[in-house]
Amino acid sequence: MAGKADKKGLKVHVIDHPLIQHKLTLMRMKETSSKDFRDLLEEIAMLMGYEVTRDFPLREIDIETPVAPCKSKIIAGKKVGLVPILRAGLGMLDGMLALIPAARVGHIGLYRDPETLKPVEYYCKLPPDVSERTLIVVDPMLATGGSASAALTLLKEHGARNLILMCLVSAPDGIKVVNKDHPDVPIYTAAVDDHLNEHGYIVPGLGDAGDRIFGTL
Ligand code: PRP
Ligand code: URA
């Protein structure tokens, strides 16, 4: 379910599509403006969403085209919910909604205490039927893994059983934490970076994603 472990023991799906890698490089550049950063994040989220949904099951239905009746495929699995982790996860929401416009959206507000690096919850509003949905949790950064793990725990406490985590840039530490705390949850990322610095920032990373999206640097 959550994929096979790589050479470093990390269970993660790395989406290495050239368009995603190119756009991620632009996002990493410190001179990239907030507007461009936001636009690129939305574009990448849509491209990643294409891969994240690749294994969604299909079923055949009978339809009629203007020319002939035929059998054709539609998505058969559970309904989808999107759950951005505030604030930075909001930057990935519209790209995903462009792909899955009927998805319901839940919000989880977490910020990382700058001293302890532990997540602090300040908001949670979810669709009522999370147990019947495949929930895709989106957050650009998986650093220590504290925020993602707490969000996944919270969703399970609300009945969610079918979860996917989608992050733009991940640190090995964060992947390990989520693999350990939530072995049932597949992680999709565009990059596994080298390490965390003493402030818990991903190196090389792209800085503070929320600040870069919203211009609050
Ligand atoms: C960032 C990011 C993740 C979290 C990752 O959010 O968007 O939610 O840090 O770090 P972790 O893996 O060590 O928990 P932040 O706390 O900066 O809040 P913001 O999105 O409101 O800026
Ligand atoms: N949160 C961010 O926004 N960036 C990091 O590198 C780590 C946590």
Q: What is the reported pLDDT for 75?
A: 92
- CA 140 / ligand 2 centre spacing (Å): 8
> 134 — alpha (psi -120 to 50), left (phi > 0) or beta?
beta
Active site residue: 32, 38, 87, 112, which one? Answer: 112
Residue 37 has, within 13 A of its CA and on its CB side, a CA count of: 23
Atom of ligand 1 nearest to the CA of 171: 12
* 91 ligand 1 Cβ < 6 A: no
Q: What is the mean pLDDT for each group of 10 consecutive residues in the chain (217 residues)?
A: 74 97 98 98 97 94 98 93 98 97 96 92 96 97 97 97 98 98 98 97 98 95
Q: Hey, what are 139's tokens?
A: 């957050």
Atom of ligand 2 nearest to the CA of 211: 3
pLDDT tens track for 106-143: 999 999 898 999 999 999 999 999 999 999 999 999 99
- Smallest CA separation from ligand 1 atom 22, residue: 210
Distance, in Å, from the CA atom of 214 to the CA atom of 17, rounded to the nearest integer, reads 26
